[in-house]
A = this chain, B = another copy of it.
Amino acid sequence: MAQSGAQSRAGSGRKTRIVMKFGGTSVANIERINAVAARVKREVDAGHEVAVVVSAMAGHTNQLVAWCSELSPMHDAREYDTVVAAGEQITAGLTAIALQAIGVNARSWLGWQIPLETNDAHGKARIMGIDTGAFEQRFAQGQVAVVAGFQGIGPDHRITTLGRGGSDTSAVALAAALKADRCDIFTDVDGVYTTDPRIVAKARKLDKVTYEEMLEMASLGAKVLQIRSVEMAMKHGVRVQVLSSFEDKPGTLVVNEDEIMEQELVSGIAYSRDEAKITLMRVPDRPGVAASIFGPLSDANINVDMIVQNVSEDGKNTDMTFTVSKGDFERAKQVLEGKKNSLNFHSLISDSNVVKVSVIGVGMRSHAGIAQRMFKALAEKGINIQVISTSEIKISVLVAEEYTELAVRALHTAYGLDAE
């Protein structure tokens, strides 16, 4: 099974190769860095080839970012990158020292030393290529590569960073380049759950979840993995495991659909409170009306999520309802009120006391009745659905915010996700 990843290296008898990524809470102090080293040593002792990717100490990146912003709100992204990349540089060196202290052959690698080449989009750079030649050679000598996450080198010969949470992306990209058998993401949760355990006591940890489902969950607010890293894992077929750095037990594998034998219809229930609803009443129902509404919002860099258009009784007017994030709510209303004459709507009504609840599962692609079960479960609890939107593997509804917990629990039970 270790060799079943789509991109794993050809040939039998080769050692299992693992990328292990540790987040900021996992390297937050010297004691935890020693624990990381001990965890890595176990994989080395098992005969595996190991690359370790580390984040900065928890809180350190925030401190560095705050200093940049304090000096200048509009600071040079190239200097920002130089400053914040220091956090991962420190933990990479410290982790190498910790490994050496327990007899593990290890050395640190900074983005520019590998090199991990990116484009020149400082602050949110994209990885263009990773030269793994030096790693291959040193793996053969039994050396562990400790890689500073989040950073690379741009075409301008300066340090770049990959955007917040970029160490996940570093790890998955490295796993793809090394054709690793697995990319273990160690974090402060022990895996991906069927829903938020803080709301549903019976939430279950998933043994496996598909890339597509993980992507939907990440988009819908589950902050386990950075979206970009999941996209990259899907594209390159990297088997990702999310697991706890504090507990010693298996986590959740993020894999291709064909690796999951018995796929549940629904894998999880997600919710997002970061929603606000706007309705334009009695907009003239003519071709191009949607473009005339959403064009100005797009120009103002406001992202629109769910959209519903009702046909009016007289066939001349329509009501247009959509959601934006709470942060864009006031600005969206101002933009639209400013266009009231040209858009020619009757009135604008809005509501920010809403929550988006979503049911996610690749199984729903081939099964009917999934949506119906959702609507029925909510109706039985007396919860009114305000807006519905669907994708191939997701159904989202907008309901009043006060029903958040009730709706999530009802759906978790309705789809048979409750732990026994």
Contact = CB atoms under 8 A, between A and B. Distances in A.
20 contacts: A33-B71, A72-B100, A75-B97, A76-B96, A76-B100, A76-B107, A78-B107, A79-B96, A79-B97, A80-B93, A81-B93, A82-B93, A83-B89, A83-B90, A85-B89, A86-B87, A86-B93, A89-B89, A110-B159, A112-B112
Interface of A: 30, 33-34, 64, 67-68, 70-72, 75-76, 78-83, 85-87, 89-90, 92-94, 96-98, 100-101, 107-108, 110, 112-113, 157-159
Given A33-B71, A71-B30, A89-B86, A100 B113 contact: no
A158 B92 CA distance: 13
Contact of A101 (B72, B89, B113): B72
A71 B90 contact: no
A260 B83 CA distance: 43
A44 to B, nearest CB: 17
A67 B30 contact: yes
A54 to B, nearest CB: 12
A188 to B, nearest CB: 21
Count of identical protomers in the assembly: 2
B64 A90 contact: yes
A94 B78 contact: no
A62 to B, nearest CB: 14
Given A30-B71, A86-B90, A112-B112, A79 B101 contact: no
A336 B81 CA distance: 56
Nearest to A75: B97
A126 to B, nearest CB: 22
A114 to B, nearest CB: 11
Contacts of A79: 93-94, 96-97, 100, 107-108
Contacts of A98: 71-72
Contacts of A34: 71
Contact of A97 (B72, B87, B90, B159): B72
